[in-house]
């Protein structure tokens, strides 16, 4: 099977390309610029497609392709410069996906795996999210992902043989990753005291090795066709538990002290960091029962295995 991976030079993309190659797939990797070709794993056929949007030319990239994994997206922007962020997200994540899936259907592609986000469900839970919960996207990024999901369902209903799989992961972590978990690693590595000992939350995460395994599984399993799945490590942990495991993996002492989560949230409001504080003290969990029941997929790596691999990469990258 020949698979086109968009965003192939990104964090998840590189891990996915290696996984697919190791499991006998032929892989084409779509990148925006010529410099992106330098970051593709050995064995991947690189294709330059330019900016992803409503007018992207996908013809060359789709030649001979059986399946597509669409990872390329406009993601969270720390310093947003667009005067209309939702329009900017829609151009890439909605219109870009629409353009690709229409071309893929016309080229005879049989399966299209779309990486969405658990943010489509919402940003906080009391009970674990499931695929049956009403969507509650909470920012321009998750709103655009939800609109792209809806558009895919509409397009595929008219696309004949093309089957779509939508995957909604939580925070993805692993070697070469970026974002919140890497910041936590840095804080623990530097011995920074953290006011999180009183936090009693639960959060779902997904190790990149588990995510790419789920993508590979859904590329081939017949029962994954035209389904939406939540995917995670299957083990929910509190922020203090996560930090202690990071410390153990780094062989560093962990310095946690108690501060009321309510006070932390007030501090977040006062400093404009409410979303950052929410991710540290709030709960966001999800059920993976559906993907396990319908396809038999279960994560091959435990969360502690993923944390150790991530910490090993972090330590070696700074030595």
Distance CA 235, CA 159 (A): 37
Distances (CA, A) of 259 to 47, 247, 266, 274: 51, 20, 12, 16
Whether residue 139 lies inside any domain: the answer is yes
Model pLDDT for residues 208-254, shown as the tens digit of each residue? 999 999 999 999 999 999 999 999 999 999 999 999 999 999 999 99
Whether residue 228 lies inside any domain: the answer is no
Which pTM does this prediction carry?
0.96
What confidence score (pLDDT) does residue 79 get?
A: 62
**Residue 73: which domain range?**
2-168
- Count CB neighbours of 51 within 10 A: 12
Which of 141, 173, 207, 314 is labelled catalytic?
141
Q: CATH number, domain at 61?
A: 3.40.50.720
Asked if 36 and 46 touch (Cβ cutoff 8 Å), the reply is yes
What confidence score (pLDDT) does residue 84 get?
A: 86
Which residue is associated with the tokens 């992803």? 52
Whether residue 205 lies inside any domain: the answer is no
Whether residue 316 lies inside any domain: the answer is no
Whether residue 183 lies inside any domain: the answer is no
Whether residue 20 lies inside any domain: the answer is yes
| Predicted confidence (pLDDT) at residue 276 exceeds the cutoff of 60 | yes
Distance CA 120, CA 85 (A): 17
Asked if 207 and 233 touch (Cβ cutoff 8 Å), the reply is yes
Considering its fold, how many domains does the chain have in total?
A: 1
Whether residue 275 lies inside any domain: the answer is no
Whether residue 26 lies inside any domain: the answer is yes
Catalytic residue list contains 141: yes
| Predicted confidence (pLDDT) at residue 80 exceeds the cutoff of 70 | no
Model pLDDT for residues 177-214, shown as the tens digit of each residue? 988 899 999 999 999 999 999 999 999 999 999 999 99
């Amino acid at each position: 099977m020949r698979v086109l991976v968009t965003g192939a030079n990104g964090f998840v993309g590189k891990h996915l390309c290696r996984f697919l190659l190791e499991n006998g797939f032929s892989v084409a990797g779509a990148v925006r610029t010529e410099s992106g070709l330098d970051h593709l794993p050995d064995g991947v056929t690189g294709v330059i497609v330019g900016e992803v949007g409503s007018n992207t030319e996908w013809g060359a990239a789709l030649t001979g392709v059986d399946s597509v994994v669409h990872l390329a997206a406009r993601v969270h922007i720390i310093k947003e410069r667009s005067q209309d962020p939702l329009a900017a997200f829609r151009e890439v994540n909605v219109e870009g996906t629409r353009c690709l899936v229409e071309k893929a259907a016309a080229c005879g592609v049989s399966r299209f795996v779309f990486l969405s986000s658990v943010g489509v469900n919402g940003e906080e839970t009391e009970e674990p999210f499931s695929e049956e919960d009403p969507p509650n996207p909470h920012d321009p990024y998750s709103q655009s992902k939800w609109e792209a999901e809806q558009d895919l369902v509409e397009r595929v209903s008219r696309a004949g043989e093309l089957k779509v799989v939508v995957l909604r992961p939580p925070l993805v972590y692993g070697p070469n990753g970026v974002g919140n978990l890497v910041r936590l690693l840095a804080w623990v590595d530097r011995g920074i005291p953290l006011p999180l000992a009183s936090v009693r939350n639960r959060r779902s995460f997904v190790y990149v090795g588990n995510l790419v395994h789920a993508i590979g599984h859904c590329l081939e399993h017949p029962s994954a066709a035209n389904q939406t799945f939540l995917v995670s490590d299957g083990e929910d942990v509190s922020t203090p538990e996560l930090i202690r495991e990071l410390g153990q993996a780094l062989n560093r002492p962990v310095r946690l002290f108690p501060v009321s989560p309510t006070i932390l949230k007030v501090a977040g409001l006062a400093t404009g960091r409410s979303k950052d504080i929410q991710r540290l003290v709030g709960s966001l969990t999800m059920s993976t029962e559906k993907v396990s029941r319908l396809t038999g997929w279960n994560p091959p790596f435990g969360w502690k295995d993923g944390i150790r691999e991530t910490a090993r990469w972090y330590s070696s990258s700074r030595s």
